[in-house]
Structure 1
Amino acid sequence: MKNRLADFRKHHSLSQDKLAEKLQVSRQTIISIEKDKYSPSLPLAFEISNVFQVSIEW
């Protein structure tokens, strides 16, 4: 399954810093998720899906 966080972030014109701020995580966490070096916890995955208003599967 491809990680689409960077695509959603860019589509919503959010910088990594701004997304990290919204999710209350570090910018490094966003970078690691986008590079598939870190899998977000289930609560964080739900927060990400809420920010972009998509189901968690996306």
Structure 2
Amino acid sequence: MKVIEKQALKDEEKMELQEIQLKKAKHIAEEADQEYEEVARRLFDYMIIGESIYI
């Protein structure tokens, strides 16, 4: 029974670590999405300003 309990404890610790890693990965992905949106918005603004100069 001890072996099963030890394995269960290891599995639980591994799951907790994976949950932490998942939260970090989601946070990084959200930050990347926000940065992409900002860059896309700036590029769009730049393109609009550039077009208005030539009109």
Name the structure with the higher helix share: 2
Name which structure has the greater RCO, CA cutoff 8 Å, separation 6+. Answer: 1
Normalising to structure 2: TM-score of the pair?
Answer: 0.24
Normalising to structure 1: TM-score of the pair?
Answer: 0.23
Q: Which has the larger radius of gyration?
A: 2
